[in-house]
Structures are given as structure tokens and as C-alpha cells.
Structure 1
């Protein structure tokens, strides 16, 4: 979870630096959304599958350690970019490094915990998403608030750096220590593997991975689409909420960072853990398909506060509606991971998790911020219409996700029943 916190700090810090980056590099909201979304998601998603294959057969701790090194260095280098395309390329580098973490982490955690505790364990890991975003907003807001109005800082060799560039260095370089910290985690014995002709399979060809996904296609399609839409919701709102508070409610950068950071850390973090606990509770009570059921409930409860919050003219109402929007919007995310691990054999988990991350992040990180920006720039043609764009994109994403997850409950139950058969054979 600590690794995930740092990864989200590094990927999210951009969201609080929108206005100074726009001013310094002379770029638009749409270009900012590309830096936050497509630039990061492009290699994060494309490299997921080959990294997932390594996760299923190689030392997972070593894979994570190398990934941490790459994303930390590339985050710091973001602060040295002089043009839009230089920043675009360095953001791609951040995605390359972070692509190594989650497939390996999902696999390791699934080998440590039994099914009736897995949703909670994975939800605690996924809570790093919200704690990381919270820290990014708090650190970014604090740095920008402290350094606002001061002249550029002079660094040896590098030269003068504006405050937003210093923020990238501050959050990127400390991550290098995590390359060592990750080796304190013991590589667990792999559990829940398929067997062939009485022998345990050590490596599964890609065609068999795709065949397994095709066999459970109804489950995986509804899973990837439903949770991908929720990822679109979270990322679309996460990038633009601080800017929304600054543009339409007159908050300072420091106030927006501290306020939204605390809200997402408290309510987003609580929501993802509550979702894991609720799913495990349902599973213990014999509810079949508990992960999908709990996720659909959370998604449904997020629809109204997500759609209404950006339309409020009062900051008090914005914060009041932001709390349930964040809580219920984060409710399903640990369950997305748990659902995959419960129906996927060990030798396929890294690769199937990578496929899930490919679709969810391409849809969520790549499209969420971009759709909001496109609506603001080209549908409304007015920066002050940002709230309407957020309401439409966020509300529709939550509604569609709820419908898709409800449809997916029945096929997911069927996949669980098939999984129980090969799990008995592997013990």
C-alpha cells in the first residue's frame, strides 16, 4: 500500500499544477488532459500485458523494485520539461514504471490471504489510490501555496526552476528509497494454480490466457467495462475538481489542495475499505457474486451526489455532496481486483490483471479527464462551464457502470462455480 501511495502521488501531482503549467507552457485544458490521461495511460496499459506475463513466472518483488526506480526518476524529470511534448514523454515514462506495480501486487496479496479475507486485503492495498491522491493534493497545494509569487529557484547545473517544477522533484526523488523498502516483502508461495496431466503448470502461453478469458467472456466483459466506467468517473473528477474549486469558487491553490486532499483521503480511503469489508461480509453470509453485488450498490449510491456536486454554487454544498460521491465512488475498487483473483488461476493472474488494467485505465485515465476537457472546450466553449462538464461525464459514468455491474452478477457467479472445481484439483 505504501508503494501504491507513492505511485499515486507521482501520477496525480499534475492535477494541482494545471494553471501554472498551462501558463508556463502555453497549453489548453485539452492538452492538460492528454498529459494527465493519454500520456500516462499509453505505456501504462500497453506494457501491462508483457509485464503481467513476467509476474506469472518470475520474481515479483524484483519486478516491482525496478518499476519503482523508473517511475520515481521519470516523475522528477517531469519538472525539467520545457515543452508540451517533453512533458508528454516524461509522463509516458512514469506510466512505464507504474505498470509493474499492480499486477505483481495483486498476485502477491492473493497468495497471502484466503478468499474470505481477500477483498479486505486488496481493498487496503487499493486504498493507496486515495491516500496517494490526498498526499499529492496536500503536498502540491502546500508547495504551490508556499512558493507562490517567489522568483524561480536556482539549482546547480539544472538552472532556474519554477514552483511547479520543484513540486515534481519533491515528490519524485524520495521514491528512490522505496526500491530498497520493497525487498522487505517476502515472495510468497504461489497458490491456486492450474494443473495439467497431474503436473502443475509453471507458464501458460498467451493463447491459453485468451482462451480462458474467452471461456468466461461474459464475466470479464462486464467486469472490464463496469469497473472501467468507474475508473473514468474517478479520474475525470480527480483531475478537474481542484481546478473547479479554484475557477468557480475562488479557492487558492493551497486551499484546493488541502481541502480536496483531505476529502479524498478520508472519504475515498474509507469507502474503498468499507467496500472490501461489505463484500467479505456478504460472502460469509453466503451471498453469491458478492464482489459484483457490493460494487453495483456502491456505484448506484454514487450517481446522484456525483452528478449534483459540480452544479452547486455554494462551497459548503460542494463539500457536503463531495463526501458521499467520494465514499461510494471508491466503494467498488478493491472489489474489482478481488473479483478477478477469485476466478483466475495463479499462472494467469498477472496477465488477466494486466488486461483489466489495460481497459480500465485506457477508459478511465485516458478518457475520463479528456471527456471533461472536450466538453468544456468544444461543447460549452467556456472555462467557467467546467462544472457542467464534470456533472454530465461523472453522472453518466456512474449510471452506466451500475447497469453493467448488475448485468454481470449472474455470469460472475457461474465463473466462481467453475473456479471452485479447478481449485479443488490444485490442492
Structure 2
């Protein structure tokens, strides 16, 4: 009996001795797993925080670009309003200058043909009395004074119109520069938005707990990274093309000379239903003689001479016309503003096409007008021109061949010509 009890005690002791290490090992394994899970959670939280920081940074860049675009658009709207107001003032000043020129020219012609100075002397000598003579002299003095005031006002208006033309051109150039900046920002915005999509998908992948969902998100991330790389490459290509185009246009402006078509021979073109005739021409780069046909508005004052510096937005039709015709003013504004500015500067404007003249379609070009240099004339409804910014091409060239400048296709058919 005592042996059984002793055996039982020994077995119990052995069992308890073996159970204690097993319990200790089990507790250690659990703590290790908990620690591993906590480490994994901590690591994921760190990754999530880094991904969120990247998202926030790119989103801030996107917001900044959008804010800049809004500001540039608002500035362009304001500048356009200022340009419109300046052009209205330029038009009034131009009309006043032209009107005074006509009055002064008429008085000058009268003085030459009627001998005004001798008439003044005769008027004094024919006076009935000294008081009558004094009255007549006073009247003539007032007339001379009025003419002097008119001349002074004429000079003041010419100074004013030149200042307003410069301010108007500066506003137009700033609008063009802002539009280019908006185009550049649009490319940058596409790249930033593509990178933002990558960052968001990366964050979603880090937050995902299911392996299959995470794999799908990683595939989307790879596709988004490829799209971002493509957008970046497109932006680089766009900027390189812009730089190359700017260099090419600058070089073209330096050497720009309109190809003047002369010795035009008219032939019957039986297969043409447009009403135009076929022509055989020979090319020449020599500027034509300055022969101006009958015009509606004839200059009555000396023409203003301008420098050949091209102050217009590169690639625009005004830039191309200035490059081809250096005699054009430096600050004549948008194309539809050129006739008024030209008249104020003493240049004739009419409706008869002449080789070397500047053709103006005031209602073409989306409301800004369009200009080109005439290189050949067969009739008032069949000419050729050199121009830029036609059909999307910013370089200078002859894009239309023979065409009817009065067709409704070109801003309703209204066309004017500024003669050199």
C-alpha cells in the first residue's frame, strides 16, 4: 500500500515537472506572435503615413497649378477688357486725327490755290475805316489762333494714340504669354494628376489586407506608373516641340520675305467652277512698286516710319505680317485694330487689292481679325497672300494659293487693304 502511494506521488511529480515547461513555451509563442503582429501593424502604419504624405504633397501641387490657372484666366479676362477699352479710345483718336488732317489739308490747298495771304492784305485795304480794319485783323488773328490750337491738339492726339497703342499691344502680348503659360501648366497638371493617381493607388495597396485585392491594386499601380511615365514623356516632348517651334519661328522672322508673284498671265480654266481663272506666274523676291489703286480713305499727312523690330506675339498673323512688311507699325494691336491705327499714322486704307499691301479681315480670326501680305493680284476677287497662323500653322507661308478674299468664308467677306 505504501509502495502504491509512493508510486502515485512519483508519477504526479514527474507529470507536473513535464507540464510546466510546456505551459511556459506556449505562453512565449503567443507573446512572440502578438509582438510580430504589432510590429507588422506598426510597419503598415508607417507605410500608410508615408503614402498619405506623398498624396498630400502631390495634391498640394495640383491645387497650386489649378489656382495659378484660375488667376491667369482672370488676368486674361481683365487684360482683354482693358485692350477693348484702349482700342475704343484709339479709334476715337484716329478718327479725330484723320478729320483734322482733312481740314488742315483743305486749308493748305486753299492757301496755295487762292493766295490766302494776298486776300488778307486785300481785306485790310478794303476796310471802310480804321475800326473796320481792326475788326477784320482781329477776326483773322482769331482764325489763325484757332488753326494753331487745332495743330497743337493734333500733335497731342498723336502722342496720346501712340501711348495707348503701346499699352494696348502690351496687354495683347501679356494675354498671349498667359495663354502659353496656361498651355504649359495644363501639361504639368496632367503629369501631376497621373502621379497623384499612383500615390493614391499605392496608399490603397498599403491599406489592403486581402492578398488578392492587394495584387489587383499593385497591377493598377503598375499601369498608373506607366501612364505617369507616358504623361511625363509627352510633357517633355511638348516642351521640346514648343522650344523648337519658337526657335524656328524666330529664325523665320529674321529672313521672312514675301514671295511676290509678278507677270500674271490669265488663262481660261474650263474645269473650274469657282469663277477664278488659271494663271501662269513667275516668282520674284523684289518688293513691288508702291502704286496704290483708288481707295476709300487716302492719307492726307506724312506717314509715320517705324523700326523693323517685331513687337507682336510670335506665330500670330500680326507677327507674320510685320515680319513680311517691316513698314507696318510696331503697336497697331490686334488684326481688326490695324486699319484705324494705320490711318492715324498716315497710311491709306481701301478695298482694292494691291501687291505689297496688307489685307485685313476685321471679322475673321475668332473676333480678333486676321492680316496677310498680298503677293499677287488677278482681280478684286482673286489674289494670293503670304501669312502666318492660318489653319493652325504658326510659320509664314502661302497656304491658300489663288482665292477670293471677299468670300463669306473669311469673316463674312469684309476685307480692307492697308497700302505701304
- TM-score bracket relative to the smaller structure: under 0.3
TM-score, normalising length from structure 2? 0.24
Structure number with the bigger relative contact order (C-alpha 8 A, sep ≥ 6) is 1
Larger strand fraction of residues = 2
Larger helix fraction of residues = 1
TM-score, normalising length from structure 1? 0.23
